[in-house]
Amino acid sequence: MKADPKGVLTGAHYLDGDFAIAEGALAAGCRFFAGYPITPSTETAERFAERIPFVGGVFIQMEDEIASITALIGASWGGKKPMTVTSGPGFSLMMENIGLAAMMEAPIVIANVQRGGPSTGLPTLTGQGDMMQVRWGSHGDYKIIALSPDSPQECFDLTIQAFNLAEMYRVPAFIMTDECVGHMHEKVVIPPADQIEIVERKWYEGPKDKYLPYKPDKDLVPFMVKAGDGYRFHTTGLTHDERGYPVINAECQDWCVRHINDKITKNAAKIIKFEEDQTDNAEVVVVSYGITSRVAVKAVQQARKAGIKIGTLRLITVWPFPEKRIKELSKKIKAFVIPELNYGQMALEVERASAGQAPAIRVSHMGGWVHDPEDIFKAIKEAAK
Amino acid sequence: MKEEDRPEEKNPMEDFLRMDRIPHIWCPGCGIGTVVTSFADALRKSDLNLDKVAVVSGIGCSGRVAGYVKFDSFHSTHGRAIPFATGLKLANPDLKVIVFSGDGDIVGIGGNHFIHAARRNMDILVICVNNFNYAMTGGQVAATTPLTANLSTAPYGNFEYPFSLPYLADACGASYVARWTALHLRRVTHSIQEALQKRGFSFIEVITPCVTLYARRNRLGDGLNLLKYYYENAEIQHGADTRTLGISFQGRLIVGKFVDREKPTFLDCMNDHLSKALGDKYVKYGVKL
């Protein structure tokens, strides 16, 4: 279906990434936002609070991030497409109920405008230290979807995507951006509403007494209903059967946990998006995402000038990780170079996927600023040897 | 009369409970079940469309209520029933949202959410079953445990001051505040009926024996004895100053309806204020036109 024009601010704008996320959410049909102020993500909440009165919906500033994320799950079951935005410390507080959303299979969207961590770290400066936390942060085994925009335009585009994916797969979906992209002002083109593709969750329409909130459909995603429509359904954070009733034994645990993982794993090929350039004859492939991919451009140009056969792979979907493609590439190249604003997180995934075929050379920057392209270039030269 | 000629007997709770989930897990002598009965009774006596009733619980013995009631029901995480209910209510303002949970859940781990929902006058009803301890985990000291009561993490008796829940709710701005014991069945039912009619944050505390842990550890007899003891030690004082409602170990319990005031809810305030501030451009939310 097409976007509701009420939320779409069609035109060319000069926006920062944080604002673009808010506009993406409104365009995607988000009408419920619960959040708690935290640098450098607050502008998204501010923009939503300013805009929503004219669109029709709710903005609520909750008492903390725990409340914010939990309110999202309630709102999701209330039939809304909900969103929150946060950064490091707030993201950590959300972890428990990200697990609840995964377990209840409630579509919600969370943007993390990353800053330097751990702990309070660098509140006003950039980082990419939460890339593993987004995947593994809540306890137990579950899967999520995470996207990483590299520009304000992509903040807008991928926020819409995140809503579509959350709805399609009944899963928490994340926008993993960072302070740099969040505070970077660039041109953002918002298309007319009828050019914005919107996906809604699969609403169940069968007989009321036959509804099973966790019965997987062909694509493994169960149908959803909303509270108040007479289905009298139950849902819980406990291990549950298709009815949503708690069943405390190993058999049900096996079914339940496999289901929430399989739903993403078996649809991964449909979910994963990346951008690849000149990898055909490459000896070295730079794998990057978010702001780091833009810094890497300079180093790649330098490498090409120096005659190094170099390709790039920019992750748009960071989770699920495009392990198949990395594996294929690993058989043909000398090495991967992975610049990240952390000690080396997605590099672990590259290493895992390449399974010893090609080394994963880290260019680690602990955050606070972006890489000096020279450092990436040096690593490329080393890798090409 | 032959068996097949008898009119089919229907359990009076059938419309309200998920009979396929009964028997419940609560101990004999526990008061949670009687509060659920009062809740069902209040709903039966109300003219609410039961399809629009949603129940949210957290974690704990009382947190299991959401799993037994036959409404749209949500068993959330520990302490988070109130923010879950807040999201649900705001997303779908037609719903009558009831939070049913225990003292540890609502004012222990969830205390922050409780005070803020009351402050905002969020339009939900919170029924808090207070058994003075963390029962599901084996009887640990709680934010509601009276001074000197013995529990597994206060093995020499509790020395922390407890919360007085009606005082807390009142101070935070709740629209409706009442307290009963689980044996005040009709009173509890009546309070729930009243609170269901109320718009805004309503809070009902129901004092309940925890027979297996709190009562046994403190040698207070069986559930029935303690239930009776609470009932007989209760003094009804409607409208009592909520500053006077503290609970001491096996002391007098002041019960009744303490607060019943009219004030605009969160959504009323949002719609009124933004209409004034923005005029016709404001798109009202959750208001039946």
**Alpha-carbon distance A79 to nearest alpha carbon in chain B (angstroms):** 7
> Radius of gyration of chain B from Cα atoms?
20
- Say if B288 is an interface residue toward chain A (CB within 8 Å): no
Q: Is the predicted pLDDT of residue A15 greater than 80, yes or no?
A: yes
Q: Which of B86, B266, B283 sits opposite A54 (nearest CB)?
A: B283
**pLDDT tens digit sequence for B197-241:** 999 999 999 999 999 999 999 999 998 999 999 999 999 999 999
DSSP string, A293-346: HHHHHHHHHHHHHTT--EEEEEESEEES--HHHHHHHHTT-SEEEEEESSSSSH
Q: Is residue B22 in some structural domain? A: no
**pLDDT tens digit sequence for B71-87:** 999 999 999 999 999 99
Alpha-carbon distance A109 to A355, whole Å? Answer: 32
- How remote is the C-alpha of B51 from its chain's centroid? 20
Q: Is residue B23 in some structural domain? A: no
- Chain A residues within an 8 Å CB radius of B278: 53-54
Is ipTM > 0.95 here? yes
Q: What is residue B289's predicted lDDT score, i.e. its pLDDT? A: 54
Alpha-carbon distance B43 to B150, whole Å? Answer: 37
Domain of B256: which CATH number? 3.40.50.970
- Say if A229 is an interface residue toward chain B (CB within 8 Å): yes
Q: What is the mean pLDDT of residues B131-156?
A: 98
Chain position carrying tokens 């949603």: B54
Q: Number of structural domains, chain B?
A: 1
- Say if A223 is an interface residue toward chain B (CB within 8 Å): no
Q: Is residue B270 in some structural domain? A: no
Q: What is residue B10's predicted lDDT score, i.e. its pLDDT? A: 80
Q: Is residue B248 in some structural domain? A: yes
**Record: contact A67-B80, CB cut-off 8 A:** yes
- Chain B residues within an 8 Å CB radius of A80: 91-92
- Chain A residues within an 8 Å CB radius of B108: none
Please give the share of chain B, as a percent, with pLDDT higher than 90: 93
Q: What is residue B12's predicted lDDT score, i.e. its pLDDT? A: 83
Alpha-carbon distance B289 to B271, whole Å? Answer: 13
- Say if A308 is an interface residue toward chain B (CB within 8 Å): no
Question: Which of A43-57, A219-233, B15-29 is predicted least confidently?
Answer: B15-29
- Chain A residues within an 8 Å CB radius of B67: 234, 236, 245-246
Q: Which of A54, A75, A230 sits opposite B87 (nearest CB)?
A: A75
- Say if A61 is an interface residue toward chain B (CB within 8 Å): no
- Confidence (pTM): 0.97
- Structural domains for chain A: 5-195 (3.40.50.970), 274-384 (3.40.50.920)
Q: What number of C-beta contacts closer than 8 Å exist between A and B?
A: 150
**pLDDT tens digit sequence for A218-259:** 999 999 999 999 999 999 999 999 999 999 999 999 999 999
**Record: contact B112-A63, CB cut-off 8 A:** yes
Report how far apart, in Å, the C-alpha atoms of A261 and of each of A201, A268, B76, B180, B251 are.
18, 11, 21, 46, 53
Q: Is the predicted pLDDT of residue B1 greater than 70, yes or no?
A: no
Residue type, B29: G
Report how far apart, in Å, the C-alpha atoms of B20 and of each of B16, B44, B56, B89, B101 are.
12, 20, 19, 27, 21
Q: Is omega for the bond preceding A191 within 30 degrees of 0, making it cis?
A: no
Q: What is residue A319's predicted lDDT score, i.e. its pLDDT? A: 98
Q: What is residue B13's predicted lDDT score, i.e. its pLDDT? A: 86
Chain position carrying tokens 């301890």: B133
Residue B4's pLDDT band (cuts 50, 70, 90): low
Q: Which token pair is B39?
A: 């809740």
Q: Which token pair is B6?
A: 């008898």
Please give the share of chain A, as a percent, with pLDDT higher than 90: 99
Q: Is residue B208 in some structural domain? A: yes
Instruction: Write out the residue range of the structural domain in which residue B139 sits.
Output: 28-264
CB B71 within 8 A of CB B81: no
What number of helices (H) and strands (E) belong to chain A?
13, 16
